Amino acid sequence: MKLEATQVKGLLLCGGRSTRMGRDKATLEVGGEVLWSRQIRVLEEAVGGEVAVAGSRAGPWSKTGRVVVDDMDPGKGPIAGIGGGLSWAGMGHLVVLAVDLPLMQPGFLRRLMELRGVSSGAVGVLDGCREPLAAVYPVEALEILRAQMVVGCFSLQTLWQTLSGLGRCVEMPVVDSDRSLFLNLNRPEDLESLRSSESE
């Protein structure tokens, strides 16, 4: 059963401290585009609906009228931002994208959306590991996420393992041609390497 586009929202995760990068990753420029703005564009093209930001209310998106959602429990990593996003979404599904995946494309996210079920999400699997920072979450995951955080577990891998055990997870193997979509910007060297490849 296909869900209507109005039942799908997007969430850009911008809440990291960027300690290894040494500066806010959301404001990096990649391919002539500021990263947070690029990622919102990718989400909007994929989702075709409303997109919010999980990040500081004083961030560069604050003057754009963009919805900003608060972390469920500040300082607990991306799971807290996703929890806030699921609370905001209310129903249907939430397509999540981390700001530091600069090569992610709308087409990949759309393929994940096509795989989701009425109450199940979809996640890519690369080298045997689920990729939860570019994935489709069912809002039913919210109660599971809350229960997990209450006992002090903040692992997204654990969350997806639970969803899988409940039959609420569809996994899509990441093919070789899509591996580069998961390039992660953690350190200044990662950014320099990406910029070097762009200029070749």
Pairing of strands 169-173, 33-34: unpaired
Give the pLDDT score at 3.
45
Non-local CB neighbours of 167 within 8 Å, separated by 6+ positions: 120
Domain of 150, in residue numbers: 5-199
Main-chain dihedrals φ then ψ at residue 164, nearest 5 degrees: -65, -45
Encode pLDDT of 112-157 as tens digits.
999 998 889 999 999 999 999 999 999 999 999 999 999 999 999 9
CATH code, 185: 3.90.550.10
Encode pLDDT of 58-116 as tens digits.
899 988 889 999 999 988 999 999 999 999 999 999 999 999 999 999 999 999 999 99
- Of the pLDDT bands very low, low, confident and very high (cuts 50, 70, 90), residue 4 is very low
Count of structural domains, the chain = 1
